[in-house]
């Protein structure tokens, strides 16, 4: 007998509200989760990517955007964000009908530096060191037709002000350590396109530029690497002290306490509950009552994407009841 193939559940479960809002099938969702964005850790990250692509009229399955983990100094933890890839920035420039090409990227002299830092590995801190050989700077010229004239826009950026680091250290991440020229090439092109097309891509930073940055700082600037620490003076011998009994359990660190107490808000569950309550609303007044009680605009204050999803759920219910 013929065996009927069944799909295994995806790594991240699809929320009914998300599937309905973006008209995504379970098979398409699995492609997004397991192939297009295999490193995404949350449903919210893929939902943001879907919303971005819909608003920009882009095919998400061509991966025009990337999910980039970034440190939020306001939240005190890593969060997932969505940024366009260099292909999306090129597409936006091309759509103007005024893009006139780009010269070959020119690199400055190569230099070598050893980066050191401490990263958390599980519950322990680990000292890491990487020696990377990289070009000091890169420059390129992008051309644009302005009132029929081909105009050159020159841009120059510096590697140590651009590369992506590991966590809050100055150590380059694995991709920038393996491809110091390739990643740099994408960043200088993105910067040049922003200069040539400020009204179209003036605020669009590429995912390669946003890796290793802090959300609450200016996206266009990188904190300069810290200089090597000066050698410590010799420590005088300590006076012998009585041996104290070791505590039976290590005291938790402040970071461990913060991680244990950190409350993660489940936006997917919120949308499911909002949609369930809206389904019970029989009149316009009932819909407004649910909306006021849930108050999604306050819950997602400053988050245009999730506010948009909440409004779409409300408007859909109003349309169903003829409101």
SS3 61: helix
| CB distance 45 to 68 below 8 Å | no
Rounded CA-CA distance 154/34 in Å is 39
Tell me the sheet residues that pair with 81: 68
280: confidence class by pLDDT, cuts 50, 70, 90: confident
Which residues neighbour 33 within 8 Å (Cβ) at sequence distance 6 or greater?
10, 11, 12, 40, 46
pTM summary value: 0.60
Average per-residue pLDDT for the chain: 81
Contact partners, residue 296, CB within 8 Å, separation at least 6: 270, 274, 306, 307, 310, 311
pLDDT one-digit tens code per residue, 111-143: 999 999 988 777 788 899 999 999 999 999 999
Residue 216 binned pLDDT confidence (cut-offs 50, 70, 90): low
Q: What are the boundaries of each domain within the chain? A: 85-205, 267-320
What pLDDT digit, counting tens, does each position of 61-71 carry? Answer: 999 999 998 87
Tokens linked to 75: 């939240």
Encode burial over 48-64: b for 16+ CB neighbours within 10 A, e otherwise: bbbbbbeeeebebeebb
């Amino acid at each position: 007998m013929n065996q009927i193939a069944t799909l295994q559940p995806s790594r991240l479960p699809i929320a009914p509200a998300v599937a309905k809002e973006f008209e995504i099938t379970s098979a398409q969702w699995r492609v997004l989760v397991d192939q297009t964005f295999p490193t995404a850790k949350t449903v919210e990250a893929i939902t943001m990517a879907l919303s971005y692509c819909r608003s920009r009229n882009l095919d998400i399955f061509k991966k025009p955007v990337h999910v980039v983990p970034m440190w939020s100094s306001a939240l005190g933890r890593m969060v997932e964000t969505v940024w366009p890839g260099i292909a999306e920035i090129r597409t936006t420039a091309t759509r103007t009908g005024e893009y006139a090409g780009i010269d070959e990227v020119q690199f400055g002299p190569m230099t070598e530096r050893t980066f050191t830092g401490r990263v958390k590995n599980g519950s322990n801190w680990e000292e890491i060191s990487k020696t990377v050989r990289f070009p000091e700077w890169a420059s390129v010229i992008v051309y644009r037709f302005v009132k029929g004239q081909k105009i050159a826009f020159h841009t120059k950026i510096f590697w140590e002000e651009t590369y992506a680091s590991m966590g809050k250290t100055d150590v380059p991440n694995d991709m920038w350590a393996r491809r110091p020229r390739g990643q740099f090439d994408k960043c200088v092109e993105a910067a040049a396109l922003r200069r040539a097309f400020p009204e179209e891509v003036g605020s669009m930073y590429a995912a390669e530029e946003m890796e290793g940055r802090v959300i609450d700082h200016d996206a266009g600037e990188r904190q300069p690497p810290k200089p090597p620490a000066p050698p410590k003076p010799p420590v005088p011998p300590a006076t012998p002290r009585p041996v104290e009994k070791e505590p039976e359990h290590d005291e938790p660190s402040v970071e461990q306490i913060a991680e244990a107490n950190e409350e993660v808000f489940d936006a997917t569950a919120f949308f499911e509950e909002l949609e369930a309550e809206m389904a019970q609303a029989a009149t316009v007044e009932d819909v407004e009552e649910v909306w006021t009680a849930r108050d999604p605009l306050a819950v997602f204050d400053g988050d245009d994407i999730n506010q948009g999803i909440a409004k779409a759920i409300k408007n859909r219910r109003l349309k169903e009841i003829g409101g």
